[in-house]
């Protein structure tokens, strides 16, 4: 994917580099990584430690924006350390580096589902080629910037949010998510199997090479047909349509009424491919009052502009609640704007949509 690029210029101040902690049991790798990052003025290495326990202690006591975390280490491995780092009040981002875990593998997808921002295959120590360095810096440079994370709404915003009336039609459901969104999507869809009632569209911030496995896991979890969106593909009720990793999922209604997929690569406010906003905006144009948008866990505000479009078209929105979200940025922005008809955990969202569909049937 090509998500939001680092642009860490504060609204009224100078550009600030990203504070990075390197966690790897190899002293050679730590030195190489520190040298690579030191040569790029977007990053500042604030520490380099050799174990998960040291990383947890460091993040607790030092300013850190981004943690580069080795997957295989003595003691706690990367998957054990990951949730403890993400639980930090500093809201760090974590990129897992692995010499044995293939990008796009089930373990890598599990790490993303737990809240990792990315998983990058790491060469062995001493084999850091120029191509790998360029690839790594590109991936790191496309993460959500710290100022955006710092604007994550707090719990009080959920408690005081004004809710809109529930929608009276369900002609299509669109689900958008980012960090922590994968597990939320799986839970939501387990309670949402409408048969052939309406199409479901999903935009999850994921690198392109994860999309086939993500689609396969969706099918296993729901037993529903799942397709990765392609240009011109007819939209079918009862099918889950997943945005590809290199384009936005958009829609068009043809002259005879058939709805087909359109892929867009236009830059949008959030700079990510795929982004949630274009999907929601397309649903608003095509389905109007029958468009139901769901915004799940994720950093930033992707989905907010699209939520406005759905509401203006007469459709309705549901936001994931604060307690069940890994990051309440995306759902929180929709809730704070007064666009949500409900703020619920994923397991209850599917039930609500089906109840509204049955009531209108």
Q: Which residues are catalytic?
A: 178, 205, 302
Helix 106-114 vs helix 78-86: crossing angle, to nearest 10: 20
Question: Strands 316-320 and 340-344, how do they pair?
Answer: parallel
Torsion of CA 255, 259, 261, 262, to 10 degrees: 40
End-to-end CA distance of the chain: 38
φ and ψ at residue 24, rounded to 5 degrees: -160, 140
The answer for residues whose C-beta is within 8 angstroms of residue 249's C-beta and 6 or more apart is 201, 203, 229, 241, 242, 243, 261, 263, 274, 278, 279, 282
Could you give the 3-state DSSP secondary structure of residue 53? helix
C-alpha triplet 216, 140, 179: angle, nearest 5°: 45
Around Cβ 46, how many Cβ atoms within 10 Å?
Answer: 17
**Distance of alpha carbon 8 from the chain centroid:** 20
- Classify residue 238 as left (phi > 0), alpha (psi -120 to 50) or beta: left
Q: Which tokens belong to 335? A: 């809730």
Answer for the pair 335, 312: CB distance below 8 angstroms, yes or no: no
């Amino acid at each position: 994917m090509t998500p939001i690029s680092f642009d860490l210029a504060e609204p009224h101040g100078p550009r600030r580099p990203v504070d990075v902690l390197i966690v790897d049991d190899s002293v050679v790798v730590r030195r190489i990584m520190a040298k690579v990052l030191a040569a790029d003025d977007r990053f500042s290495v604030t520490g380099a430690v050799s174990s998960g326990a040291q990383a947890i202690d460091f993040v607790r006591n030092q300013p850190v924006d981004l943690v580069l975390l080795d997957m295989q280490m003595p003691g706690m491995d990367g998957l054990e350390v990951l949730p403890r780092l993400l639980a930090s009040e500093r809201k760090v981002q974590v990129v897992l580096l692995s010499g044995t875990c293939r990008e796009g593998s089930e373990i890598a997808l599990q790490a993303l589902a737990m809240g990792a921002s990315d998983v990058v295959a790491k060469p062995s120590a001493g084999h850091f080629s120029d191509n790998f360095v360029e690839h790594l810096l590109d991936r790191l440079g496309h993460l959500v910037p710290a100022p955006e994370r710092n604007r994550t709404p707090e719990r009080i915003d959920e408690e005081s949010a004004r809710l809109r009336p529930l929608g009276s039609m369900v002609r299509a459901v669109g689900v958008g998510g980012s960090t922590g969104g994968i597990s939320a999507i799986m839970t939501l869809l387990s309670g949402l199997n409408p048969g052939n009632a309406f199409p479901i569209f999903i935009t999850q911030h994921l690198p392109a090479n994860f999309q086939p496995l993500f689609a396969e896991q969706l099918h296993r979890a729901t037993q529903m047909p799942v397709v990765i969106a392609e240009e011109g593909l007819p939209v079918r009720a009862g099918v889950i349509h997943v945005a590809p990793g290199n384009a936005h999922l958009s829609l068009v209604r043809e002259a005879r009424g058939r709805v087909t997929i359109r892929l867009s690569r236009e830059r949008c406010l959030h700079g990510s491919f795929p982004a949630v906003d274009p999907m929601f905006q397309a649903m608003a144009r095509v389905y109007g009052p029958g468009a139901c948008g769901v915004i799940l866990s994720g950093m930033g505000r992707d989905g907010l502009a699209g939520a406005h479009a759905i509401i203006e078209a007469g459709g309705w929105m549901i936001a994931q609640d604060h307690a069940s979200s890994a990051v309440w940025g995306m759902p929180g922005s929709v809730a704070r704007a007064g666009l949500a008809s409900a703020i619920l955990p994923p397991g209850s969202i599917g039930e609500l949509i089906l109840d509204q569909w049955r009531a209108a049937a």
